[in-house]
Structure 1
Amino acid sequence: MSPSVLHPKLSSPPPSITHSAGNYLYTHDGRKIFDASCGAAVACLGHNEPRVKQAILAQLDKTAYVYSPFFTVPAAEEIASFLTESTGGQMGRVFIVSSGASPRIPRLTLTVLHGTEAIEASLKMARQYFTELQPPQMQRTRFIARRQSYHGNTLGSLGVGGHKARRAIFEPILSTSTSHVAPCYPYRDMKDGETEEEYVNRLAEELEGEFQRLGPSTVCAFVAETMAGTTLGCVPALPGYHKAMKAVCDRHGALYVLDEVMSGMGRTGTLHAWEQEGVVPDLQTVAKGLGAGYAPIGALLVGDRVVEALANGSGAFMHSQTYQGHPVACAAAVAVQRVIQEDGLLENVRVQGEYLGRLLNERLGGHRNVGDVRGRGLFWALEFVKDKATKEPFPAEEGVAQKVHLTGLQEEYSISVIPGAGVADGKNGDIIQIAPAYNVSREDIELIVERVESVVHAVFRA
């Protein structure tokens, strides 16, 4: 293994994967690992899907790259049309971008980019929206997001995120334009005797209070994950939560921004997670399930309210990147979405997801160190606790989630899950996520739960 690669941990490089197929990753030393995490909830079709590979090759034979502000390609137009149509036309445009710096050359369409960059674009879009209104609302410079949230690792997206540990060393150079309110986290935050409706109302009142503290006319947007990811652990919103929070934003003219980089594009059982919440966001980000890992791609979907303001104003989005609308990435995304539709995979996500949740509860819900089992679709988490009665988390120094992950990679278990830490308070509290491919079978689900159960018992043997 090359010493030149800057791995996440310099002293311990990860296993080297020589090839992959279906649900399995094959290592250089002969192991066969079941990928129950889809990497980072990305490889939603599994590995080596021939229809996607063929689409990529076909695009390479046509056009490998054009600069999107100068030119367009059919693949970009097709994925843009698919995304807008998938919202019933409620998110009307797509502005295509990806990594790389470039001079700003205005163009208004839909944005396709990778996840972190989608959030960066959403923040810029939210700010620009208010400068385009007539009269302009230039005083709107603030954002409100949630604690224990994650929206990406660039300075802008990290500043919006509310995860203490991930922000820690960069705090002095992060923007101070974002403040944070409580997430929807009933396992830890609902009070004894409090109903779900009362809890949702309390969270909405907290958001209202933050608007008032900042000055309602200074807030651009509220940013939230439709269904929380790794930094909270697959927490579905309670009924009415998103409606209540959006009502606060609407009351003060602020935008409602939903981050579906991890939970979107089918992961929770509908193409867009917000379809299950009874709301339509003003801006929405997606990424992982859009291209299934075959190419780096994501998207910012832009609601009609925002499009109209830009169309009546400058007619341009002040944002551009070198690889925006990359033809090969767009072709891969079109093929991935076609496979999901043709193979009826959203229905499979719902059916197998219900089975996965049931088995996890049956097999691990009673374990003394499993405090909570939660999720939706094929997006589930186990939260580990030191004391089940008090919900006391393990201290961060013990690295419990990482131990579970690394144990799973051992030959005896051969399963990959996603570790997460800091769920309890931003520093302490451990979870693992289970996010298999959309085409898993009932037998695959049983194998996943069997192996995860063995890993959990091994780690908490003492």
Structure 2
Amino acid sequence: MTAPEVIDEDNGVVQWKANHTNGATKSAVLHRDIHHEPPKITRALGIYLHLNNGQKLLDAVGGAAVACLGQPNTRVIDAVVRQLSEVSYCHSGSFGTCSGEALARELVNSTGGEMAKAFIVSSGSEATEAVIKFARQYFIELSPPQPARTKFIAREQSYHGTTLGALSLGSHLARREKFEPILLQNASHVSACNAYRFQHPDESTEDYVARLAGELDEAFKRVGPETVCAFVAEPVSGAALGCVPAVPGYFKAMKKVCDKYGALLIFDEIMCGMGRTGTLHAWEQEGVVPDIQTIGKGLGGGFYPVAGFLVGQRVINALARGTGAFAHGQTYQGHPGACAAALEVQRIIREEGLLDNVRKMGALMSSLLKQKLETHPYVGDIRGKGLFWGIEFVRDKATKQPFHPALSIASRVHEKAFRPPYNISIYPGAGTVDGESGDHILLAPAYNVSEAEIELIVDRTVRAIEDFFADF
């Protein structure tokens, strides 16, 4: 095997030129881009990533809002080792585990009794798929049953997972495009709650909420209210819109419409939940309790693949009075190691008071970002909650005109930030405005981040943005 070519060492980092065979790198891994072999992480320490090219990278986004405790954590590692030493795997069709029971109890208790049961899987997409089936089964279990309910209403520029059912439910156009012919046809979409983009200048918050509630009401009527299982939304949008929180009163109005037609309210908290926005569950800040919520990313902090959903008492009661069995199961459902990791992560968050740190450091990050970037000519909006912040770029600040998609602004800002002298990992997103146009980046550091680290994250992010647009 030919050694990779080393170039540009004078800039303080070894950059690798990929060797190609028939247009692809020589790696045996099917990477996201087969023409590019990404740098390998050789060590992670706190919120820093050490790469095989000698670079030390500041991880300002926890991978994808996942590594909520940084890396490594001996408490979590020890908990997983203990669990794997006792029971490394069992089939949930026949057995349960102590770690699974303890995790479910921890999660149910964290809702103050609003949720009754937890279902644990290995990824957010799997959780969404399970929830789609659970919502459908709920209406079959009712007495009398409502078998006509087969449809779902979600929001535009939403993302709920990458498997076919989850992708059908979401409205991330770029990720859907190649698979449109094989996606399910039982999901429709209404406008997202995005005040920066879509609230009219002369429209009050109350009027904006009323308009969106009216749109959802009309969507129910259009598809047939007796056919809708649920309305699905992220309390704070994730990758597709870039950390857009709902305006006050929005989710109360949405729940009222759902209740009017007997449909469920489902919150996707895979990215924004489990502490990311300053409360363990994002719905705690909305004054609304969903019937079902999905959880992921911050649930296990990246120490093990784990996600799941929580379901309220009303929905569970219907199942209990019916068949008593959820018609769904997966090989790695409730994996003992995953449950042990997630349980320890949640105990650390609770015992170390990390939600308080999320709120304090989130307020600092918000203040610094707005202080340094609010007047930047190409920064249109800075929004978020807790340690979940998005920065949207615009071509024209006054008109909010986005850049042309072909310019790939967010990706290029990300690429510049990745390189020296910035050495910071941020999360780029595109299609912010309409699924095609619009660019944003996300910042989502670990919950135990320090004040000095927040200042460093903001400083490096701001310098990368300023230098990119100065060159651009």
After TM superposition, the score normalised by the length of structure 1 is 0.96
Q: 2:98 aligns with which of 59, 62, 74?
A: 74
Counterpart residue number, 2:370: 361
Quote the Cα distance in structure 2 between the aligned partners of 1:361 and 1:443: 17
Counterpart residue number, 2:115: 91
Residue identity matched to 1:6: L
Displacement after TM superposition at 1:2 (Å): 5.5
SS at match of 1:228: coil
- State the 4+ residue runs in structure 1 displaced beyond 3 angstroms: none
Counterpart residue number, 1:200: 209
Residue 241 of structure 2 is aligned to residue 232 of structure 1: yes
Q: 2:424 aligns with which of 403, 415, 419?
A: 415
Residue 38 of structure 2 is aligned to residue 14 of structure 1: yes
Q: How does 1:164-203 map to 2 (within 5 A)?
A: 164-203=173-212
Quote the Cα distance in structure 2 between the aligned partners of 1:411 and 1:366: 25
Q: Structure 2 unaligned segments of length 5 or more: list them.
A: 1-24
Displacement after TM superposition at 1:238 (Å): 0.6
Counterpart residue number, 1:454: 463
SS at match of 2:189: strand
Quote the Cα distance in structure 1 between the aligned partners of 2:152 and 2:374: 37
Q: 1:153 aligns with which of 135, 143, 162?
A: 162
SS at match of 1:278: coil
| 1:204-225 residue CA offsets vs partner (Å, 9 max, x unmatched) | 0000000011111110000001
After TM superposition, the score normalised by the length of structure 2 is 0.94
Displacement after TM superposition at 1:95 (Å): 2.6
| 1:6-60 residue CA offsets vs partner (Å, 9 max, x unmatched) | 1111112222111101010000011110100000000000010111111111111
8 Å contact kept, 2:266–2:290: yes
Counterpart residue number, 1:304: 313
The alignment's C-alpha RMSD in Å is 0.9
Counterpart residue number, 2:227: 218
Quote the Cα distance in structure 2 between the aligned partners of 1:440 and 1:242: 30
SS at match of 1:245: helix
SS at match of 2:238: coil
Counterpart residue number, 1:430: 439
Residue 233 of structure 2 is aligned to residue 209 of structure 1: no
Q: 1:116 aligns with which of 125, 137, 152?
A: 125
Counterpart residue number, 1:106: none
| 1:38-94 residue CA offsets vs partner (Å, 9 max, x unmatched) | 000000000101111111111111111011111111100000001111111111012
SS at match of 1:95: strand
8 Å contact kept, 2:190–2:215: yes
| 1:273-306 residue CA offsets vs partner (Å, 9 max, x unmatched) | 0000000000100000000000000111011111
Residue identity matched to 1:357: S
Residue 61 of structure 2 is aligned to residue 37 of structure 1: yes
Quote the Cα distance in structure 2 between the aligned partners of 1:296 and 1:366: 40
Quote the Cα distance in structure 1 between the aligned partners of 2:292 and 2:372: 39
Larger RCO (CA within 8 A; separation ≥ 6): 1
Counterpart residue number, 2:349: 340
Residue identity matched to 2:154: A
Quote the Cα distance in structure 2 between the aligned partners of 1:16 and 1:2: 14
Larger CA deviation: 35-44 vs 299-308: 299-308
Residue identity matched to 2:163: T
Displacement after TM superposition at 1:230 (Å): 1.1
Quote the Cα distance in structure 2 between the aligned partners of 1:262 and 1:2: 33
Quote the Cα distance in structure 2 between the aligned partners of 1:388 and 1:47: 38
Q: How does 1:245-394 map to 2 (within 5 A)?
A: 245-394=254-403
8 Å contact kept, 2:100–2:340: yes
Quote the Cα distance in structure 1 between the aligned partners of 2:58 and 2:74: 19
8 Å contact kept, 2:27–2:37: no
